[in-house]
Structure 1
C-alpha cells in the first residue's frame, strides 16, 4: 500500500479507589441506563475477528442496557487516520475511537484522561512495556488505553528449511516452542552473514527500504540496536553521532544482499515475497504466514516466527500498539470507560487473540502466554515466541525516544530508510547525516 507524502504543514494540520471500582464493583446502571454509545474499531483483516469484538461489545451492552453503534473503519487508504483527524476538527463523532501508535499523542488535548481505567487494569493484568507508555502517556498521565486488536510485533518470520540449508541456522532450536530462547549467537553480525548466505543461495531476505511502515519499522529496530537516535528524549539533535554512523554502515552492507527493488517496496511486498517462496526471511507479524497457510500451505509449514537479532546496545523488536481513546467531547464518558474496561478483561482479550489467530497482542505482561500462540500451526508452536513471552527483546517503535510529536514526523516521512538508501547508493556519510539533520530540524520547528 503506497503512502501519500505529507508536507510538514499538512502533517501538523491533520494531526485509586474510585478507579478500582471500575473492575471490582457492580456497575450502577442509573448512570447511563438506556443511553447510547458509539465506537469506531479497526476493520480487521482476519475473517471472523470483527465478529468476536462485536459479540463482546453486545455482551456488555445487553448487561448495561446501553445501545451501542459499532463502525469498523479500514486502514486502507489511511481511512482510520483520516477519521481521527476529521472528528478532532469537528469535535464530534464516536465516543470511543481506536487509534494506532502515534495518534493518541497527536490528539492529546482532545482526549479524556484514562488513569482511572488504566490503574486497575495494570493491577489486574500486569505492567505494560515502555513503548506502550511512551505512546499512551503524557507527563505520566494516560490519555488512551492499549487495545490488543491491531497491536503487533514485526519480528523475523524465517523459513526453517532455507535458513538451515543456506545459513546453517536452526531457528526452531534457537527459539524452541514452549521454552526460553537460546539465541545468544543471534546477533547483527550473524544476521548479516545469514543474509549474505541466503542471497548467494538465491533466496534473499525480504526486507524493504521503502517509505511505508514495514520498512521503517525494521530500520528503527536496527538503528536502536546500535544505540542510534536522530533526536533524543529531551528533543536534542543526535544525528551526527558514532552510533548513527555505525547503523548506516551496517545497512550499507545489508543492502547488498537484499532484493534490488527493495527501495520501492510497500507493506504488501514482503508478504508476497514470503508466500511466493522467493525468500528465507521477512520482518512481519503473522499476517504473511496466515496468507501462506491459506494459499501456499507447503510454505506455511516451513515458517517460524521468532526474535530480532541483537546489536551492540541490545535486542530490539518493532512494536506497533493500538489504543482505545475517548474524546473529551463524548456525551457518555462513563459508559465509554466501562466498555473499554470490559474489552480489556483477560477473558475478553483471550477471545480476541483466538479470533485473530494470534495476530493481536495484548499489552499486559500477564497475558503473553495464552494458549493460542502455543497451539497455532502449521508447524505447531510457530507463533509461540511472537508475543515475547520471556521479555527476550525490548519492544520499541522507530524514531523513539524522540518526543512523540517529532518522532511521528520522522516515522511518517521515512527519514531512516531514506538515510539508508542515500548512503547505500553511494552518498558520502557526512552528506547523508547533514541531510537528515536538516530534516529533523524542520520537524522540530513545526
Structure 2
C-alpha cells in the first residue's frame, strides 16, 4: 500500500473549488468540518495512472486548504476487499474508499447517502448506465458515486489480421473509427463460425471459463444475450427455463473451439494468451492491449476493441464499475463529498482517462466521447468503440437482475461458468440445472 500526503494546511470552511462553482460550496462548510481527509483509492493496473489522481487530489487539497492522505490499495490478493471489511468492522479508517461492483450494496447500512452529489452530477454529465444504477442505488438512495478510475467494459479485443485471415471478417470496417458500428451481421451464430475458423487456423478465441471475474463477466454477457436468468428481480429461482438451456447448448458448441484448459483460466490467462500472439480474440478492457504495446508491439498494432455479438435478446457487454463511497463514521463527510464531486467533473475524468491510456471509463453519458479513445494507437482509433459511444450495446453485469445479496453470491461463486463447464463436459442438462437450483436455494436462505 502506497501512501501520499498532499495539501498540508488546515481546512477553511466554505472554500469552493475553482473549477466549478457548485462543486464544493454545497458541501465543504460548517464548524464541524475538519482539516484532514483520508482517501483509499484502487491501485491502478496501468503504470503511471495513479499520478493523475494524485495530482487532482493535490489540486483540490491546496485550493481548499485540506490535508489529504492517499492510499493506493491493490486488488491483488483481495487486499482492497480485506481493507473494506476491516474498516467496516472497526468503524474506523478512510473517509473515502473505493468500492468495487457489489460492495456498495453489501455495506449499504454504513455508507453516507449520496443523492445530493449524484443528482447534480447526472444533471451536468448525463445519465449513468443501468448497471451503475443497479449496483449503486438501493431503494431510491445512491450509496456511492461511480468512479472513473478502474471502471471498465470487458468487450472483445480482436486481432485484425487473424480475423481476416481465418474468418474473413474485417473488424475495422464493422467498427469504424468516428462512425457508428455496421455490425448487424455480428451475431452469435457468426461469432461461433468465426471461433471455429480461428481454431482451425491455429489461433483460437481465448475465452476463459474459470471462476474469476473475466470468465464470469463473459458468461454473464452471453446469458443476458439469451435472456437467461437464474434468479429474477423478486428473488425467485427461475433457473430451469428454456433460455438457460439455450445458452448452455450454445456454450457447449463454443467450448469445442476454445483452448482445452479454459476452465482453469484466471484473469491473467486471457491477457497472456493474446499478448503471446496465440489468440484471435479475448474479452478484456484495454489493459491487455496496453501490455502488448509495451511488450509485443507487433501484436498491439493488430488489436481492435469493439462490440459484443448480438443474441436473441440483445447485444450486451460486461461492465464493472468502481465507486467512491463515504463511511458513515467519517468525521469529514462534507469535505469528502466535495472531493468526490471534484473528481467527477469532466476535466478531472478526462485527465484520469488520459493517464490510463483509455482504460478508465466514466459512467456518465456525456463523458464517453473523450479524444483519447479515438486517438490512442497503435493502430490509431483502436479504442474508439471501447466506451460504447453510439449506445450500440447494453452494459450489464452477470447475475442481474437478482437481488444484490443473491446476485453477489452467484457472481463470486461463478455459478454460470460452473454450469457451462459441467454441461459441456457431459453432464446431463437436467442434472446441471438441479445442481444450480440447489446452490441458488442456499444463497436465498443466506
Which TM-score bucket, shorter chain as reference?
over 0.9
Q: Which residue of 2 aligns with 1:416?
A: 416
- Unpaired runs of 5+ residues, structure 1, are 1-19
Once the two structures are TM-superposed, the CA of residue 47 in structure 1 deviates from its matched residue by 1.6
CA contact under 8 A between 1:235 and 1:403: conserved in structure 2? yes
Partners of 2:179 and 2:280 lie apart in 1 by 24
Q: What TM-score, normalized by structure 1, do the two folds share?
A: 0.94
Q: Which residue of 2 aligns with 1:291?
A: 291
Partners of 1:341 and 1:353 lie apart in 2 by 16
CA contact under 8 A between 1:199 and 1:205: conserved in structure 2? yes
Q: Which residue of 2 aligns with 1:105?
A: 105
1:18-37 mapped onto 2 (5 Å cutoff) = 22-23=22-23, 25=25, 31=31, 35-37=35-37
| SS of equivalent residue, structure 1 residue 386 | coil
Partners of 1:34 and 1:328 lie apart in 2 by 15
1:8-157 mapped onto 2 (5 Å cutoff) = 22-23=22-23, 25=25, 31=31, 35-157=35-157
CA contact under 8 A between 1:32 and 1:335: conserved in structure 2? no
CA spacing shift, 1:351–1:340, aligned 2, 3 Å: same
| SS of equivalent residue, structure 1 residue 236 | coil
Partners of 2:236 and 2:27 lie apart in 1 by 47
CA contact under 8 A between 1:29 and 1:64: conserved in structure 2? no
Q: Which residue of 2 aligns with 1:195?
A: 195
Coordinate RMSD, CA, aligned: 1.3
| SS of equivalent residue, structure 2 residue 208 | coil
Partners of 1:235 and 1:26 lie apart in 2 by 39
Partners of 1:167 and 1:98 lie apart in 2 by 42
Partners of 2:344 and 2:183 lie apart in 1 by 33
Q: Which residue of 2 aligns with 1:426?
A: 426
Once the two structures are TM-superposed, the CA of residue 140 in structure 1 deviates from its matched residue by 1.6
| SS of equivalent residue, structure 1 residue 314 | coil
| SS of equivalent residue, structure 2 residue 315 | strand
After TM superposition, the runs of 4+ consecutive aligned structure 1 residues lying more than 2 A away are 20-34
CA contact under 8 A between 2:174 and 2:181: conserved in structure 1? yes
Q: Which residue of 2 aligns with 1:244?
A: 244
CA displacement, residues 379-411 of structure 1 (integer Å, 9 cap, x when unaligned):
000000000001100000001110111100000
Once the two structures are TM-superposed, the CA of residue 29 in structure 1 deviates from its matched residue by 5.2
Q: Which residue of 2 aligns with 1:257?
A: 257
- Unpaired runs of 5+ residues, structure 2, are 1-19
Q: What TM-score, normalized by structure 2, do the two folds share?
A: 0.94
Residue 300 in structure 1 maps to residue 300 in structure 2: yes
| SS of equivalent residue, structure 1 residue 69 | strand
CA contact under 8 A between 2:128 and 2:364: conserved in structure 1? yes
Partners of 1:28 and 1:200 lie apart in 2 by 62
Partners of 1:64 and 1:322 lie apart in 2 by 26
Q: Which residue of 2 aligns with 1:6?
A: none
Q: Which residue of 1 aligns with 2:383?
A: 383
Partners of 2:188 and 2:258 lie apart in 1 by 15
CA displacement, residues 392-446 of structure 1 (integer Å, 9 cap, x when unaligned):
0000000111011110000000100000000000000000000001101101110
| SS of equivalent residue, structure 1 residue 209 | coil
Once the two structures are TM-superposed, the CA of residue 23 in structure 1 deviates from its matched residue by 3.0
Q: Which residue of 2 aligns with 1:319?
A: 319
CA displacement, residues 166-213 of structure 1 (integer Å, 9 cap, x when unaligned):
011110000001100000000010100000000000100000110000
Partners of 1:28 and 1:335 lie apart in 2 by 5
| SS of equivalent residue, structure 2 residue 52 | helix
Partners of 2:213 and 2:120 lie apart in 1 by 33
Q: Which residue of 2 aligns with 1:333?
A: 333
CA contact under 8 A between 1:187 and 1:310: conserved in structure 2? yes
Partners of 2:404 and 2:57 lie apart in 1 by 31
Residue 174 in structure 1 maps to residue 181 in structure 2: no
Once the two structures are TM-superposed, the CA of residue 240 in structure 1 deviates from its matched residue by 0.2
Partners of 1:297 and 1:184 lie apart in 2 by 31
CA contact under 8 A between 2:219 and 2:416: conserved in structure 1? yes
Partners of 2:351 and 2:418 lie apart in 1 by 40
Q: Which residue of 1 aligns with 2:13?
A: none
CA spacing shift, 1:61–1:90, aligned 2, 3 Å: same
CA contact under 8 A between 1:361 and 1:387: conserved in structure 2? yes
Partners of 2:32 and 2:298 lie apart in 1 by 53
Partners of 1:227 and 1:433 lie apart in 2 by 16
